[in-house]
């Protein structure tokens, strides 16, 4: 059973410190509260082996910055400790001490220092927008005003977990065809640079009787053997050029629009952006964030410039006193059925609940779309690889049969 080093204050004002054994931090805090003590600090006691492991982990994680998985783990732990009655300062101190990422630990200690100086938690974390985005900060700020801090942290943790899972699914679906394509290119290069040159001597002096596939591939093989470096440089230039192009506003707008039109992938990306938009908007509204702030954050968090432009237009319309549905009707990005349900939610005053239900449906639709994409890509890529290999095999075998026929006559 784990041990915890605690610091507590007795009702008389006396501060007490020591080590206790409990099943978890919540149980340890409950024991102290039952004894009439106010928990000031509660930190798990690490064994020597764990301390050595922690030092090694610190060295390995020193140069790596914190990511969303670190924020998710932090939010989950903080929710548990706050719900257990541990003060925010003590909870931050305990979590920071157990954090393996050195940079994230420094950030948490800075947040704790800001809170000790009198700042609100939302104000302290707002200094790190790359880690704690506008959705996180605004939901925390709303909970500070309503007094539902622990419950809001649970909702934020659930939201982050779902977004991380969705991102993994989309990346996994995008990586799979890339791997298959790389294998196809690798097999083609191997055949052109290793297999075909072996037949060069056999076909030498017989170019006039060779079929065009053989002539074409022999020429391609000779070119690759002599000028392979131009292919490598061209591929690097193409990748770098594309990355620089999509960093421009025009390039990113074009790329985001293309993702909504690509065969096979368009359904997946559309479901992703609709689900992310509506889920974010629903969470913010249910947290008590004002509508205009909700729309601004939703636009920034969608991950697609076309959807961002749509939500900005909705923001401008609502700011002028119009309904959300009236502006959404002018866009083709959302299905008409979704817009109708949004309008029904507005009229009934249950827009946040309606958006949560719609986003749940589109999360399921996203999973189905990803399964469809991966299921269709596999046979398509296998057919393409088979076609390439078959074409090369035909180019090798046909002249052999042709020369055998000539010799036979």
Whether 165 and 173 have beta carbons less than 8 Å apart is answered as: no
Domain boundaries, the chain: 1-45, 47-132, 165-409
Question: What is the Cα–Cα distance from 405 to 389, expressed in whole angstroms?
Answer: 24
What does the pLDDT read at residue 191?
A: 80
Least confident window among 6-10, 145-149, 331-335, 387-391? 6-10
**Average of pLDDT values for 176-204?**
78
pLDDT of 141 above 80 = yes
Class of domain 165-409: mainly alpha
What does the pLDDT read at residue 306?
A: 92
**Average of pLDDT values for 275-280?**
88
What does the pLDDT read at residue 8?
A: 76
Fold of 47-132: Receptor-associated Protein (1.20.81)
The predicted-structure confidence for 243-263, as pLDDT tens digits, reads as follows 999 989 899 999 999 999 988
Higher pLDDT, 205 or 192: 192
If one counts every other C-beta atom within 10 angstroms of the C-beta of residue 221, the result is: 21
The predicted-structure confidence for 43-98, as pLDDT tens digits, reads as follows 776 554 445 455 545 444 444 578 888 899 898 888 888 888 888 888 888 888 88
pLDDT of 29 above 90 = no
Q: Please, is 222 exposed, middle or buried when counting C-beta atoms within 10 Å of its C-beta (0-12, 13-18, 19+)?
A: middle
Sign of the CA dihedral 387, 389, 395, 396? negative
Whether 255 and 246 have beta carbons less than 8 Å apart is answered as: yes
What does the pLDDT read at residue 48?
A: 46
What percent helix, strand, coil does the chain show, rounded to 5?
Answer: 75, 5, 20
Domains 47-132 and 165-409 belong to one CATH topology: yes
Higher pLDDT, 194 or 41: 194
What does the pLDDT read at residue 15?
A: 66
The predicted-structure confidence for 147-182, as pLDDT tens digits, reads as follows 778 888 888 888 888 888 888 887 877 777 777 778
């Amino acid at each position: 059973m784990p041990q915890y080093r605690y610091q507590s204050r007795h009702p008389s004002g006396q501060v007490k410190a020591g080590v206790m054994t409990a099943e978890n931090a919540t149980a340890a805090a409950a024991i102290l509260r039952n004894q009439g003590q106010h928990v000031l600090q509660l930190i798990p006691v690490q064994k020597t082996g764990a301390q050595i492991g922690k030092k090694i982990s610190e060295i390995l994680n020193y140069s790596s910055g914190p990511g969303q998985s670190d924020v998710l783990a932090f939010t989950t732990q903080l929710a548990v400790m706050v719900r257990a009655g541990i003060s925010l300062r003590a909870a931050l101190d305990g979590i920071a001490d157990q954090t393996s990422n050195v940079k994230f630990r420094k950030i948490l200690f800075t947040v704790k220092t800001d809170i000790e100086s009198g700042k609100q938690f939302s104000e302290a974390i707002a200094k790190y927008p790359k880690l704690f985005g506008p959705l996180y900060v605004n939901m925390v700020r709303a909970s500070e005003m309503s007094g539902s801090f622990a419950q809001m942290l649970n909702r934020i943790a659930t939201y982050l977990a779902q977004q991380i899972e969705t991102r993994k699914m989309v990346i996994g679906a995008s990586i799979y065809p890339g791997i298959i394509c790389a294998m196809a290119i690798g097999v083609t290069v191997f055949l052109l640079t290793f297999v075909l040159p072996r037949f060069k001597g056999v076909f030498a002096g017989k170019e006039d009787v060779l079929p065009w596939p053989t002539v074409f591939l022999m020429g391609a093989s000779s070119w690759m053997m002599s000028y392979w470096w131009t292919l490598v440089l061209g591929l690097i230039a193409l990748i770098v050029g594309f990355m620089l192009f999509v960093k421009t506003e025009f390039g990113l707008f074009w790329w985001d629009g293309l993702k909504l039109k690509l065969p096979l992938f368009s359904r997946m990306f559309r479901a992703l952006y609709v689900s992310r938009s509506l889920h974010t908007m629903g969470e913010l509204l249910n947290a008590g964030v004002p509508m205009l702030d909700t729309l601004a954050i939703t636009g920034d968090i969608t991950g697609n410039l076309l959807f961002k432009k749509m939500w900005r237009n909705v923001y401008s319309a609502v700011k002028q006193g119009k309904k959300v549905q009236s502006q959404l009707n002018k866009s083709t990005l959302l299905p008409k059925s979704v817009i109708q349900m949004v309008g029904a939610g507005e009229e009934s005053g249950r827009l946040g609940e309606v958006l949560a239900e719609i986003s749940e449906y589109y999360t399921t639709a996203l999973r189905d779309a990803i399964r469809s994409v991966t299921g269709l890509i596999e046979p398509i890529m296998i057919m393409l690889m088979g076609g390439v290999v078959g074409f090369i095999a035909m180019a090798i075998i046909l002249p052999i049969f042709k020369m055998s026929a000539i010799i036979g006559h």
